[in-house]
Amino acid sequence: MNTPLILPDVALAPLLPIAITLLGAIAATLLGFFLPRRAITLISMVSLVLSGVSMVTLWNGGLTSFGGSLQADNVALSIGLIILLGSLMTLLVTYDSAARAKLAFPEFDAMLMYAVTGTLLIAFSGDLVTMLIGLEVMSLSGYVIATLQDSRRAEEAGMKYFLLGAVGSAILIYGIALVYGATGTLSYVGIRDATAGLQVQNVGLLVVGALLLLCGFGFKVALAPFHQWTPDVYGGAPTSVGLFLSTVVKVAAFAGMLRVFGGAMQNVPAWAGVLQVLIVATIVVGNLGALFQTNFKRLMAYSAVAHTGFLALALLGNPATGGPALTYYLLVYTLMTAGTLAVVSALQRTEAAFTLDDMRGLFYRHPAYAVALAVCLGSLAGLPPFAGFMGKYLAFQAAFQAGYVGLTIIAAMGSVAALIYYLRPAMLMFMPDRTPAREYPGERTPTTAAVVIGVVGVTVLGILPNLAYGLVANPAIWTVLAGR
């Protein structure tokens, strides 16, 4: 080994957004002993905002670090911003609901911030190891916050999440190992180059590795049949945790999938075919399962599963159309899911159940919340003028243009089923009802702020989609997902 020692390419600038959130996490961990919990939350929020600012300054920079292991390209930045947005909304919701949810430990904020750090790492990743680290940091923190509430439900949820997550991680790691075996590299660019034209010696190994990766990611984003943890965890964990898991974590996992499958593995056969089957299964299972739910939180969990199917649809498309579609949809999905769950969080009296029956006549008790919830649900159902429509449309278009016509039609039919279960609660709210208010009566301004962000977001982005889509529409940034 006579290779001269080469100093690692450590550019700090691209690291900045992640470092800031990490600092926030550490601060939360340490200061938790001295400051009240709300102060910690504020500090976390500030660090999120700062991280966001740093991302904005990095925009169009295309910087990389660690020899390409970390890349702050526009893909990473746009997804990173979505993650920050989701996290911010989570923090806003927890700011006043955490106490009610028996979650008001500084550790909660700390773990949340660690998770955010992990998610950002996934988005910024340039090789499989970085991605894996991010994924594990995110998952491990996720297990903790899912369990943190001192209740049997949360514990059960956490346990399930943890055990299944560990299995999923194991599958994923094994997949990484096989891909490494087939290509001899762990970096996205390397894999992409090695697989170009399928010159790899052991295609079988590569395909199996890719499929195992798909299964591992399938768990993280909740594709059927790897989705089964979702309803139990989202439904069992506190609402704010469910909010975080179903938005930020899912966004990050999709970012990983985008990097790995849209970038590194774009030439590898087989995974697209399998993904198609999984998407169909996901759409069917998610939508049908949701039809039979009476607990609104579980309903939203199944809805998250169903949306996974729609989101993955964009992944099937060519990266040039699928990438921006996925990003836009992720943003919208984050806004509307977070908005919905924020309303739930604001109104629920207990964490256990917010049933459809509770929603009857909500409009006459809390008109603003009801309208906000209706907007979010309408958006989830894909009704214009709300942004959910644009997301769905983009996903359909991406899949359609990649030739998956049949799949698009199935997805469209799934949307019809989706409409039914979104519509039922949405319309129940407007049906006159004379029972007295059952909602939590206290102060909840920050949660309301999160709701406002969600509602305004889906409305504005629905009417003027170009505000967000225009930023990511440039196909050039999506053809080099793996890095240069």
Partner 1 sequence: MALYWLPLLPLIGFLLLIVGGRWFSGTSGGWLGSGFIGAAFVVALVRFFGLSDVPAHETLWTWLPNMALGTGGVSANLNVGFYLDQLSSVMTLVITGVGFLIHVYSISYMREDARFTRFFALLNFFVAMMLILVLADSYPLMFVGWEGVGMASYLLIGFWFAGHKDHNAADGVNNSNAARKAFIMNRIGDLGFMLGMFLIYKVFGTLVIPELAGQEGTLAVTSRPLIELICLFLLVGAVGKSGQLPLTTWLPDAMAGPTPVSALIHAATMVTAGVYLIARSNFFYDLAPGASMWVAWAGGLTALYGALSALNQTDIKKILAYSTVSQLGYMFLAVGLHSYTAAIFHLVTHAFFKALLFLAAGAVIHALHEEQDVRKMGGLAKSMPFTHIVSLIGVLAISGIPIFAGFFSKDGILASAFAQNIPLYLIGLFVAFLTAFYMGRWYFLVWRGEYRGDTKLHPHDGDAVLSAPLGILAALATVGGFLNVPSFLGGGHVLDNFLGRAIPVHEHEILASTEWLATLIAVAVALAGLGWAFYEHRRRALQVGPLGQFSFQALYLDRLYTAVVGNGSKVISRGLDTVDNGVDGAMNGIVSNVGAPGWLVTIWQSGFVRAYALSMLLGTALIVGYWALKAIGGGL
Partner 2 sequence: MIHFFIFLPVLASLLIFLVPVRWREEFAGAAAGLTLAGGLWSWSVGGLSAYSINWIPALGVTYSVQMDGVSLLLGIVTAFMTLIAIIYAGKRIPNPGTMLSLILMMETGLLGIYAARDLVLFYVFFEDALIPALLMLAIYGKAHRMAALIKFAAYTLFGSLLMLISIIGVKYYGGSPTFALADLQAHPVTGTVQTWLFLGFLAAMAVKLPLFPMHAWLPDFHAQNHDSGVADVMGTLYKVGAYGLFRFGVILFPDAMLELRPILMALAAFTALYAAWIAFSQTDWKRLLAYAGLSHMGLVGLGIFSMNETAMIGALFLLAFQNVYTGALFLAAGMLQERVGSLSTKVGGIMTQAGALSGLTMTLWFASIAVPGLAGFIGEFSILLGAYQVSPWLAFLAGLSTIAAAAYALTAYQTTYWQVRPAGAVLAHDLRDLDWLILGAPVAVAIFFGIYSGPALALVQPVVRAWMNGLGGGV
Partner 3 sequence: MESVPTSYYIALSGILFALGMIGVLTRRTAIMVFLSVELMLNAANLSLVAFARAWGDLVGQTAVFIVMTLAAAEVAIGLAIIVAIFRKRETTNVDDLASLKG
Task: State the distance between the two ends of the chain, measured CA to CA, in whole angstroms.
Answer: 27
CA–CA distance, 318 with 265 (Å, rounded to integer): 12
- Tokens read off for 173: 């790691």
Question: Among 214, 279, 336, 471, which residue interacts with partner 1 (rule: CB under 8 A)?
Answer: 214
Cross-strand partners of 71: 64
Residue 473 contacts which entry, partner 3, partner 1, partner 2, none (Cβ below 5-8 A, type-dependent): partner 2
What distance in Å separates the CA atoms of residue 85 and residue 99, rounded to the nearest whole number?
A: 22
Cα angle: 90, vertex 115, 347; to 5 degrees = 20
User: With contact defined as beta carbons under 8 Å apart, do 250 and 321 qualify?
Assistant: no
Contact 291, 417 (CB under 8 A): yes
Least Å distance between CB 113 and partner 3?
Answer: 16
Residue 113's binding partner out of partner 3, partner 1, partner 2, none, with CB under 5 to 8 Å set by partner kind: none
The nearer residue to partner 2, 239 or 459, going by C-beta atoms, is 459
Name which position in 73, 232, 351, 358 contacts partner 1 (CB under 8 A): 232
Distance of closest approach, residue 316 Cβ to partner 1, in angstroms = 16
Q: What is the rounded CA–CA span in Å between residue 140 and residue 378?
A: 34
Q: Which one, of 79, 52, 84, 88, lies nearest residue 450 by Cα?
A: 88
The contact set with partner 2 (CB under 8 A) reads 324, 363, 378, 381-385, 389-390, 393-394, 396-397, 400-401, 405, 408-409, 412-413, 415-416, 419-420, 423-424, 427-428, 430-432, 465-466, 469-470, 473
Among 313, 344, 276, which Cα is nearest to 412's? 313
Which of 432, 436 has the CB closer to partner 2? 432
Please say which residue, 213 or 390, places its beta carbon nearer to partner 2: 390
Stretch that binds partner 3, among 35-43, 91-99, 150-158, 374-382 (CB under 8 A): 150-158
367 binds partner 3 (CB under 8 A): no
Nearest to 115 by CA among 149, 140, 147, 84: 140
Query: Which of partner 2, partner 3, partner 1, none is residue 211 near (CB under 5 to 8 Å by kind)?
Result: partner 1
Rounded to whole angstroms, the Cα distance separating 194 from 245 reads 34
Identity of the residue, 200 or 410, whose beta carbon is nearer to partner 2 in the bound complex: 410
Question: How many Å apart are CA 136 and CA 133, to the nearest integer?
Answer: 5
Name 295's bridge partners. 355
Q: Residue 378 touches which of partner 3, partner 2, partner 1, none (CB < 5 to 8 A by kind)? A: partner 2
Whole-number minimum distance, CB 267 to partner 1, in Å?
13
In the complex with partner 2, the residue whose CB is nearer, 42 or 463, is 463
Q: Which of 88, 212, 399, 461 binds partner 1 (CB under 8 A)?
A: 212
Half-sphere exposure of 39 (CA within 13 A, CB side): 9
C-alpha dihedral over 217, 220, 224, 227, to 10 degrees?
160
Helix (H, G, I), strand (E, B) or coil at 374: helix
Q: Report the residue from 11, 31, 133, 281 that binds partner 3 according to the rule CB under 8 A.
A: 133
Residue 203 binds which entry of partner 1, partner 2, partner 3, none, CB below 5-8 Å type-dependent: partner 1
Q: Which two tokens stand for residue 219?
A: 């768990």
Give the relative orientation of helices 128-147 and 106-124 as an angle to the nearest 10 degrees. 160
Instruction: Enumerate binding residues for partner 3 (CB under 8 A).
Output: 128-129, 132-133, 136, 140, 143-144, 147, 152-153, 155-160, 162-163, 166-167, 169-171, 173-174, 176-178, 180-181, 184-186, 231-232, 235-236, 292-293, 298
Instruction: Enumerate binding residues for partner 1 (CB under 8 A).
Output: 159-160, 163-164, 167-168, 171, 203-204, 207-208, 211-212, 214-215, 218-219, 225-226, 228-229, 231-232, 269-270, 274, 284-285, 288-289, 291-292, 417
